[in-house]
Structure 1
Amino acid sequence: MSGPAYETIAVDTRGAARWITLSRPRVHNAMNSQCIRECRQAVEEAGADPAVRSIVFTGAGDRAFTAGADISEMVDYGPNEMLTYNRGWLGLFRDIEMCRKPVIAAVHGWATGGGTELSLACDFVLCTEAARFGLAEINIGVIPGAGAAVRLTRWLGRLKAKELLMLGRLVEGREAVELQLANRCVPPGELREAAQALADELATKAPLALGAAKASVNVGADSGFDAALEYELQEFLRLFATADQKEGMRAFLEKRNPIYRGM
């Protein structure tokens, strides 16, 4: 599905996975405003396509996932211009989190700044030993502006969030797994295969149930305990009005593999 509609990303479908490749290798795949808009459009299209069961973000070339924001675009901005600019980043990350399909980040090389923020918004993060996560904005006189402080605090706790934000140090692939910034670290030559294998495994699951699980975790992380429990219950109950629920349980009783249709 790649073509002239996109200039800063490449989009193609492999099996039931929609791959979105950040493609500005001359600047380590740094994301400018156009790239952010194109990513949002690609996520929206993938979310609306019933044949797509998951989305994979990766970077072109062998040096970077994405180095984050394109600093050359913002160096002379004031607060008003940055507000408009960062609304795009915030929107992209919420698009990813609100999408009812699993989103995988396949990270190799530089994933600093907005690259780490992008990975934080995804549901699964696979990386290589050569991955370099980090929120080094403190070293250029600012902080992350698209939710990293909030997400890191909720995912890792206050102490670790402050360490990453206030020291701005880089985290390599294996340490990222230890810190729970990534699910798994693989050799560089195996990253795309590992991401596709994960996407293929997800494609065997009931898509509506995957969406319910994703939403229940995301809402639960941001809500009070009782409200989160009620939300999860309602997601659970809605699945009992679906054909996939009937198919899954009948297949279990009949000792066969289920065929899910997202209905």
Structure 2
Amino acid sequence: MTAPFILRATQGAVAVLTLNRPEVLNAWHAPMRAELVQALDAVEADPDLRSIVLTGAGDRAFGAGQDLNETKTFDPDRAELWIGEWERLYDRIRSLSKPLVVALNGTAAGSAFQVALLGDIRIGHPGVTMGQPEINSGIASTTGPWIMREMIGLARTIDLTLTGRMMDAAEAQGMGLINRVVAKEEVMPAALALAAELAAKPPVAMRLNKARFREVTEAGFRDCLAAGVRNQREAYGTGEPARMMEQFLAERARRKANA
């Protein structure tokens, strides 16, 4: 039987959801995206759960981003469906009435970086790295630049998108992308304590506040999804993403073999 790709637990009024593909640094594929949507639906529907902590299994990564072994075989039609899968997940996160605390336990890259930014508050440790390295594997970015621009402005967004560089925790905190940096062993306790604090807030006010944040960013969100479909269809039509991903995966295999 396949292990669940999302682990679920509760601590009082706090739901704890864990991305569970540690063997690939919690890289995303379609089943894990779908399971996370289902888990968030269940939390949203449970009146006894008032906040959420999202983290990654293992101690190396919150998430390494997209699993390239999935996307390297896409054609333009499958790439469009892929954007739809992200739309369902991102829309589910954005429409939560309950606060979401992200416990960063290592790398948050690409789409995992984006999911972290869609959370309400992020807690990390000095070893955390974050960024949008999608260009290095031939993936054009639309949702990442949208959420980054909302948070850090256009100039920094251009830098991170075009270079694909990763930030350390200090730089990310300086930009406001990580709210709190604690010792590595304190990330989960701090996230749980904050989530418990948020769970005790008045729920109607919490729901209305979160709904308002969604409203003021909705137009940009829908625009980036439309651009995602357009750009991914064009990119995959050229064959460049497949070539770059194969090159990236081959280079990673060589590094592992020489390690």
Shift of the alpha carbon at 1:223? 6.5
Cα offsets for 1:206-251 (capped at 9, x unmatched)? 1111111111123134469xxxxxxxxxxxxxxxxxxxxxxxxxxx
* Aligned counterparts of 2:90 and 2:51: Cα–Cα separation in 1: 16
Residue equivalent to 1:35 = 32
Flag the structure with larger Rg.
Answer: 1
Shift of the alpha carbon at 1:67? 0.6
> What amino acid is aligned across from residue 125 of structure 1 in structure 2?
R
Shift of the alpha carbon at 1:6? 6.4
The 3 A distance-change label for structure 1 pair 99 and 130 is same
Cα offsets for 1:150-207 (capped at 9, x unmatched)? 1111221110110110111111112111111111111100000000010111122111
2:206 corresponds, among 201, 204, 210, to: 210
* Aligned counterparts of 2:44 and 2:128: Cα–Cα separation in 1: 27
Moved over 6 A (4+): none
| Cα contact 1:94–1:121 (8 A) shared by 2 | no
Residue equivalent to 1:182 = 178
* Aligned counterparts of 1:142 and 1:61: Cα–Cα separation in 2: 26
* Aligned counterparts of 1:73 and 1:202: Cα–Cα separation in 2: 37
Residue equivalent to 1:165 = 161
TM-score (norm 2): 0.81
| Cα contact 1:176–1:182 (8 A) shared by 2 | yes
* Aligned counterparts of 1:5 and 1:220: Cα–Cα separation in 2: 40
Q: Does 1:143 align with 2:140?
A: yes
Shift of the alpha carbon at 1:12? 0.6
> What amino acid is aligned across from residue 72 of structure 2 in structure 1?
V
Structure 2 residue matching 1:52: 3-state secondary structure: coil
> What amino acid is aligned across from residue 193 of structure 2 in structure 1?
A
Cα offsets for 1:57-95 (capped at 9, x unmatched)? 100011110111111011111121111122111211110
Cα offsets for 1:96-144 (capped at 9, x unmatched)? 1111111111111111011101012111111111111110011112223
* Aligned counterparts of 2:76 and 2:176: Cα–Cα separation in 1: 33
| Cα contact 1:55–1:103 (8 A) shared by 2 | yes
Count of residues in Structure 1 that have an aligned counterpart in Structure 2 = 220
* Aligned counterparts of 2:66 and 2:139: Cα–Cα separation in 1: 13
* Aligned counterparts of 2:145 and 2:219: Cα–Cα separation in 1: 17
**1:102-251 equivalence runs, <5 A:** 102-145=99-142, 147-222=143-218
Q: Does 1:44 align with 2:41?
A: yes
The 3 A distance-change label for structure 1 pair 37 and 164 is same
> What amino acid is aligned across from residue 27 of structure 1 in structure 2?
V
**1:3-42 equivalence runs, <5 A:** 7-42=4-39
* Aligned counterparts of 2:170 and 2:210: Cα–Cα separation in 1: 25
Cα offsets for 1:23-58 (capped at 9, x unmatched)? 111100111100000000000000010001111110
Larger helix percent? 2
Q: Percent identity?
A: 34
| Cα contact 1:58–1:65 (8 A) shared by 2 | yes
Structure 2 residue ranges without an equivalent (≥5): 221-259
* Aligned counterparts of 1:176 and 1:81: Cα–Cα separation in 2: 33
TM-score (norm 1): 0.80
Structure 1 residue ranges without an equivalent (≥5): 225-263
Calculate the aligned-residue CA RMSD, in Å.
Answer: 1.7
Q: Does 1:97 align with 2:91?
A: no
> What amino acid is aligned across from residue 144 of structure 1 in structure 2?
S
* Aligned counterparts of 2:2 and 2:8: Cα–Cα separation in 1: 10
